[in-house]
Structure 1
Amino acid sequence: MDPLHEIAPHIWQLPFPVGHVYVVALPDDGYALVDTGMPGSAPAVLDALARLGGRPRDLRQIVLTHCHLDHAGSAADLVAATGARVLAGALDAPYIRGTAPEPPPVLTPAERPLYEGNMAEFAAARIPPAPPVRVDTELHDGDTLPDWPGPVHVLHVPGHTPGGIALHLPESRLLFPGDIIGAAPDGRQAVLGPFNVDRETALASFRRLAALEDVDTVCVPHGGPIRGDARAVLGAAAPEGDWL
């Protein structure tokens, strides 16, 4: 049974080896997900929902921070099982729907062996491509999400992908950054996420997120959550030197 970690009231992390999933309890007794994990992750996600007292039909929203396999990989299976609505950044929506090919990352020398190793592992494990899935709501910078416990501000944070988004919950002082920010396993060091389509744009997005004032917890998809002293951890980061 996969562990389920409470990050904040109404918010839990379901960790995976690649690409964590976050579960959010909604005020109407429903649930939302932030990302869905790799293809094949749907049974573990539904099991986690059941442990929280939810049924498949209680999953109301799936928010995809971006289009990549380890984030959108189980969205189609979860939509089929639950009927949840899918929300994603407008510029990534065509990739998630399968109507346009994803742009490839522009790899630095340090990133290339890591990326090629990951792709080889996925091929050896016979992990399929992410199935296309509908996007019900295209999100833009400045949008808000309905029905969450407190305000949720959508931030367009391009660079990792063209249409990546972050979610900022100022009342909860919590941030879902997508892959713009990664962290060490203990959450004490923040780094720029690798494998970006535009490194300079990704760095600008990192700086934008690091400058947010109402953030104590950063729910990264890779690494350990940054908790308690998130602003200090982000302030100490040096993303310009990461992955070179």
Structure 2
Amino acid sequence: MQDREDPGVHVLSLSVEHGGREFTVSPTAVETERGLVLIDAGPQGAVGSLHVHLESLGYELEDVWLVVLTHHDADHAGALATLLERTDAVVAAHRAETPFVTGERDPLKGSEDDDRYPPVSVDFELAGGVRIPTLAGPMEVLETPGHTPGHVSIYFPEGELLVAGDALVADGDESLSGPKPEYTPEMDRALESVADLAELEIEHTICHHGGYAAAGTDRIREILDRDRE
């Protein structure tokens, strides 16, 4: 992570092509006594870049034992099938996201012309308050719906670190902005989730879009006040 060292938490910023355009996404790897937890896998085609990043940290893909999905969008879950071909990892997602990941339902934001990513099984269903032990302290699942029905964010209380998924976006100046209305079907609900995040002690944030931001609770409250006007 840039500007601050949080032992055991690593931002894996990947330049990828998805939907005919190139952009950067930021899955997060978290060290545990069992190996790595990967928060989001990225879109299809991302596994090679994930492998390179993990090798630079002294790990292999096979060290990933758990993938935690913040939600089912293709830029978060599209690489899962390929990743699971190369690892014995298990997959965890909120129960409201499970049918989209497993293929029972089509992703909410795909068009009829899109080829959906290969479906995979979900081994564990997440709920708010679930905690997973890591070398960075417990990582806690927060229910932050709005962007999708079962969107979750991940909170590390000991480091006052939030992994926001798409509940927030990191700007180029290392600040934060709120959920993007054009990609957020239930904006009112998403702002309720931002309000929940504003109650936490957060010093810094990792977003899937934009990566690391040296901003937390104060900035989240500013976002909430502005977007509710």
Under a length normalisation based on structure 2, what TM-score does the superposition of the two structures give?
Answer: 0.86
> For residue 136 of structure 1, what is the aligned residue in structure 2?
123
Alignment map for 1:29-178 (pairs within 5 Å): 30-104=35-109, 128-147=115-134, 149-178=136-165
Q: Which residue of 1 aligns with 2:33?
A: 27
**How many pairs does the alignment contain?**
218
Partner residue, 2:13: 15
Deviations 1:174-193 (A, max 9, x none): 11111111121122232223
- Counterpart of 2:189 in structure 1 is 201
Unpaired runs of 5+ residues, structure 2, are 15-22
Distance 2:197 2:180 in 1: 13
Decide whether aligned partners of structure 1 residues 100 and 18 sit closer, same or farther in structure 2, where only a CA change above 3 A counts.
same
Structure 1: 5+ residue stretches without partners: 106-118
Partner Cα distance (1:73, 1:239) in 2: 34
Q: Name the structure 1 match of 2:219.
A: 233
Which residue identity lines up with residue 183 of structure 1 in the other structure?
A
Over the matched positions of the two proteins, sequence identity in percent amounts to 30
**C-alpha RMSD of matched pairs (Å):** 2.4
Detail structure 1 runs of 4+ shifted over 4 Å in the superposition.
Answer: 4-7
2:198 corresponding residue in structure 1: 210
Confirm or deny: 8 A CA contact 1:203 1:240 kept in the other structure: no
State the distance in 1 between where 2:216 and 2:146 align.
Answer: 22
2-structure distance, mates of 1:39, 1:99 = 19
Structure 1 residue 88, shift from structure 2 partner: 0.9
Q: Which amino acid aligns with 1:151?
A: P
- TM, length-normalised to structure 1: 0.81
Say which structure is richer in strand.
2
- Counterpart CA distance in 1 for 2:173 and 2:166 is 17
Partner SS state of residue 85, structure 2:
helix
Mapped contact 1:64–1:72 kept (Cα < 8 A): yes
Counterpart CA distance in 2 for 1:239 and 1:70 is 29
Shift of 1:221: 0.8
Report the Cα distance in structure 2 between the residues aligned to 1:147 and 1:65, rounded to whole angstroms. Answer: 17
Partner of 1:171: helix, strand, or coil?
helix
Q: Distance in 2 between matches of 1:82 and 1:136?
A: 14
Q: Which deviates the most, 14-23 or 146-155?
A: 146-155
How many angstroms apart in 2 are the aligned matches of 1:57 and 1:224? 24
Looking at structure 2, the residues matched to 221 and 167 of structure 1 have their Cα atoms a distance apart, in angstroms, of 12
